[in-house]
Structures are given as C-alpha cells and as structure tokens.
Amino acid sequence: MDTKRIRLSDATAGMLVAEDVVNDVGQLIFPAEARLTDKAIARMQFHSIHYLRIYLEDEGEHKEESDVDDLSYFEKLRESEEFNDFNEQFSNVALTFEQEMMRVLKEGGDTDSQSLSNGVKKILSSCRSGIQVFDLLHCTRSYDEVVFAHSLNVAIISAVLGGWLGFSMEDIDMLIQCGIYHDIGKLAVPKEILEKPGALTPDEYAVMRTHTTLGYGILKDMNLDRRVKLAAMMHHERCDGTGYPLGVKENQIERLTKVIAIADVYEAMTAPRKYRKARCPFEAIKMFESSGLALFDTKYLMTFIEHMASCYMGYRVRLNDGTIGTIVYMNKQDNTKPMIQVGSQYIDLFRNPKVYIEEIL
Ligand SMILES: [Fe+2]
C-alpha cells in the first residue's frame, strides 16, 4: 500500500499509521500498523510531533469494511458518541496529569490532587454503570502508555470497586487519588527498563521494583493525604507477605492500598502490551481465583470477581474451540464457567473443563 507523509494537523482518527512515531528522545509515541485515535493525536501534540507517515487506503475498501453490520459490541461502542465523549474526557485528564507531573518533577511544588480527582469523578459520572466504565476503558486502551493512562485506569477501576464494596464518598475520593499517584515512581525508573518489550532480567526487575520507594520519595513532602503516599509505597505488598518492598502482611497493609493492588493487577493483566494482546477479563478472573486468594484481601477480591463476572451476563463471547455464543447463566461455584447459549443449544462450561471463554465480542 502507498504511504504519505502528512502534518499532524491533517491527521484524523481512523488513519492507519505506516511508521513508528517517536519523539525527539526516541521514545515510541505511537506504533506503526495501528489506527489513529483522537487520544493518540492529542498525545502526539503534547510530544511536539509535527509529521507522521500514514497508509493511503482505498476509501471504498475501508468504507465497505465499516459498513458491515456485524460489528462486535466493542467495535460498535468505539464508534458511538458516548465513547467519543469518554475518550475526550479521559485524554484531557491524562494530559493534565502528565503535564502536571512533569512540571512537579522538574520544578518541584505541589500537585492539584483534588482537580485531578474531580476529573476522574466526572468521567465516572458520565458512565451508566460500573461495567460500562470497564467497556469504555477497554476501548481506550493503547499499549504505549505505561504510567499515566494506566494510573487513571487504576483510579477508575478502584473507584468502581470501592462503590461495589459500599465505601463512603470520602474513601472513594481517596481511592481515586491513590490510583492516580500509585505508580508515579515509574517516572524515575530508566526508560529502557520501563518500556522494555518483553521479560526483564532479574537485575532489571530489581530496578523496576524500586518504583515503590521512589514513588513514596517523590510524594512524601507533597500536599497529599498519607494514604496516597502509602499506596505508592505499598501497592505491590501482598497479604501473605510475598510482596515488595517491605514484605509486610495483611494487617500491615493500608486498607485502600489493598483495593489499589487488585485494580492494578487487573489493569495490568487485561491491558495490551507490545509483546502480547490484551487478556480477556475471564482469563484475569481465572488467575485471581486460582492464585489470588492468598495474595489479596479475600473480601475485596471476591466482591470484585463476582461483580465483574456477573456484569458480562448477556454478552457475546468466543470460546477457545471457536464457538460463538451468549452468556445466559452465571455459575456461583466458578465465576469463569457460565452457561453459554449457542442458537437453541446450551453449553455448560462448568461441565466442560477444557472449554473456556477466550474473548468477549
Ligand atoms: Fe506499581
């Protein structure tokens, strides 16, 4: 396919990018072979990108593709006005957050945690339900952002989980702030480690783990609640004492940090990475059920798993054997094994251990 170099001001969402877009220090801002979004364009503006190379696609061919009525739920959602509003609000808060953190790290001074938290609350209040937030988040995700978008996602997921747990508004506000700042120490980790595509060596992993103490160091003298600083320090601690940096146990981990830990791991598991596709929420739930019960607060984790799984009732899914069907009944004994309707037939995943949900459509 032919390509063309265009000005960023002429770029529009949907264009297929032909070459990696990098900033002036060589950091990957947007990958080749991916379609532009409004959020990606805003990010390029922020990084002072002036030109990019796109594919010249046959318009007819592209139109025909988008005219197909059999779009998946997520494809339809991505084309909706609701998603555009969500995406715009999310991008604005992410950009403000990024700019503010860069300023604070360079010049020092305080951070406006309340206005960032209000931005997240506004995003949440424009969504119809908890699960719709997850669906919209699923559509905004791009793998080139490891700190700012991830942190906002964690803030949003934590707020939803706080709501499911019946937390007070004050606690939910604080959860949002904990989520926003929890990974701030990653800004002090060398980029080649932070953005390395693939597994880290043991030495690199040791450096990566310091983002917890580095984060606490960045936040400690700022005008933030103590719980926000503790979340930066302790969000990788685990209830059985196997976490880091301190290796403390359940009763020594701050209550809100325990919520952040679940949201952080769920976000990381289900986000796309340069070296792998996004994992299906059911795969993440399965991992939580099989190995998470000793690591996380049991009550918080069970509430999260049950709400997450039951929210997908009525969704179309693809099974690992290629079958496409609809979730019609949840199984309380195993949240990852619901009953699936395929035409007039029913498949009980609980009785078919080899069959599992591979993708939500
Ligand atoms: Fe972290």
Distance from residue 210's CA to the centre of ligand 1 (Å): 9
The predicted pLDDT at position 349 comes to 87
Q: How far apart are CA 101 and CA 117, in angstroms?
A: 14
The predicted pLDDT at position 128 comes to 67
Distance from residue 131's CA to the centre of ligand 1 (Å): 24
Distance from residue 260's CA to the centre of ligand 1 (Å): 10
| Continuous H helices in the chain | 38-46, 59-67, 73-78, 81-107, 113-125, 130-140, 148-164, 169-181, 191-194, 202-209, 211-219, 226-234, 255-270, 281-291, 298-311
Distance from residue 91's CA to the centre of ligand 1 (Å): 21
The predicted pLDDT at position 66 comes to 40
Distance from residue 359's CA to the centre of ligand 1 (Å): 26
Distance from residue 258's CA to the centre of ligand 1 (Å): 13
Q: How many angstroms from the chain centroid is the CA of residue 152?
A: 8
The predicted pLDDT at position 275 comes to 62
SS3 197: coil
The predicted pLDDT at position 141 comes to 63
The predicted pLDDT at position 346 comes to 84
Q: Which amino acid is at 211?
A: H
Q: How far apart are CA 259 and CA 329, in angstroms?
A: 28
Buried residues in 99-132 as b, exposed as e (16+ CB within 10 A): ebbeebeeeeeebebeebbebbbebbeebeebbb
The predicted pLDDT at position 168 comes to 95
The predicted pLDDT at position 112 comes to 82
Q: Is the dihedral of CA 21, 87, 235, 294 positive or negative?
A: negative
Over the chain (361 residues), the average pLDDT of each successive run of 10 is 82 86 74 81 75 76 42 73 82 85 81 86 78 74 69 92 94 95 91 83 93 93 93 96 93 96 91 71 87 91 89 83 86 84 85 85 79
The predicted pLDDT at position 25 comes to 64
Distance from residue 245's CA to the centre of ligand 1 (Å): 11
The predicted pLDDT at position 58 comes to 66
Distance from residue 36's CA to the centre of ligand 1 (Å): 28
> Residue 277 gets which letter from DSSP?
P
Distance from residue 18's CA to the centre of ligand 1 (Å): 32
Q: What is the dihedral of CA 43, 48, 50, 56, to 10 degrees?
A: -20
The predicted pLDDT at position 146 comes to 66
Distance from residue 140's CA to the centre of ligand 1 (Å): 20
Distance from residue 172's CA to the centre of ligand 1 (Å): 20
Radius of gyration of the chain (CA): 21
Distance from residue 278's CA to the centre of ligand 1 (Å): 18
The predicted pLDDT at position 161 comes to 94
Buried residues in 40-71 as b, exposed as e (16+ CB within 10 A): bbbbbebbebeebebbeeeeeeeeeeeeeeee
Distance from residue 23's CA to the centre of ligand 1 (Å): 25
